[in-house]
Amino acid sequence: MTVAAGPPRGWFLGSLLLSVTGCLASIGSSRIIAGEDCSPYSQPWQAALFTGNEFFCGGVLVHPQWVLSAAHCFQNSYTVGLGLHSLDDDQEPGACMMETSLSIQHPDYNKPFYANDLMLIKLKESVSPSATIRNISIASQCPTAGDSCLVSGWGQLKNGRQPNVLQCVNISVVSEESCSALYDFIYHPSMFCAGGGHDQKDSCKGDSGGPVVCKGHLQGLVSFGQAQCGQPYIPGVYTNLCKFTDWIQKTIQAS
C-alpha cells in the first residue's frame, strides 16, 4: 500500500483511480504479503465468502449464526465457508459451506468515503463450535500503537498468485497521528493503520473483510490500502471494530 488511499481488498472490485496528494491510487483489494502458511485451523473464526464457486473476500465468525466482513464485500447472495484451511478442498474434515439469509451493511458505510467499512451476514443455521470452527469475541478497547496483531486470509501473494492455504502475518499497529497523516483527507476514526514496516508485511487483494486479531480479540477487518501491496513503511487500513460493538450487538439481537 502507498501513501495515498488504495483499493478495497476484494477480488471482484474494479480499479478506481484517485488523485491523492499527487499520487494515483486504486481503491481496494488486500492480500497477505511477507507472511506464511497458517498452522492448520489455528484461526477457527476465519470465514471465506464465495459467490457461485468463486472466492472473493474473507470474513470472521463472531456469533454462532453471524459473520462479520467488510461492507465493500457486499453481494446479493453468498456462500460462507467455515473451517477451511485450503480453498481447493471444501470437503476437508471439519469444514462446512453455509447458506446465508441476510446481510446488513453499516448504515454509515462510505459516509464519508471508505468510512465505516463493515457488514454483518446472517447464516441460515447456527454452527456448533468444534476444533475447526469457533467464533471470536470483538475487542472492547481500541488498538494502541505498537500492538502486535495477526492478519489472515487467502488474498494475493507478492508474486501475484493466490495461495493454496490460509496465510498469516504479524503486523504492528501504527499511531493514529501517522495513519491520519499518511492517508490525509481519507482518514476517519472508524479506521486504524497497521503494518508497513521495513519488512513490508501487509494484507492485499482478496483479504478484504478478514480478521485482525490483537491480544486474542478481534480488533479489526481488512479494509483497503495501496494498489501495490507490501510497500515499505506504508501501512494498510483496517476497520476499527472497537467503535462498533454497540451496533454489532444491537443488530444481531434485532435480527
Please list, residue by residue across 97-124, b when 16 or more beta carbons sit within 10 angstroms of its beta carbon and e when fewer do.
ebebeebbbbeebeeeebbbbbbbbbbe
Q: Is 208 a catalytic residue?
A: yes
Annotated catalytic residue within 63, 72, 85, 188: 72
Residue 238 near residue 117 (C-beta atoms within 8 A) = no
* Signed CA dihedral, 153, 36, 163, 198: sign only: positive
Minimal CA–CA distance to 66: which of 52, 84, 78, 51? 78
Annotated catalytic residue within 103, 117, 172, 190: 117
Q: Is 207 a catalytic residue?
A: no
Q: Which three cell numbers stand for residue 76?
A: 446479493
Question: 201 to each of 55, 148, 149, how far by Cα in Å?
Answer: 23, 12, 12
Residue 60 near residue 47 (C-beta atoms within 8 A) = yes
Q: Is 72 a catalytic residue?
A: yes
Phi/psi of residue 145, each to 5°?
Answer: -55, 135
Q: Tell me which residues are annotated as active site.
A: 72, 117, 208
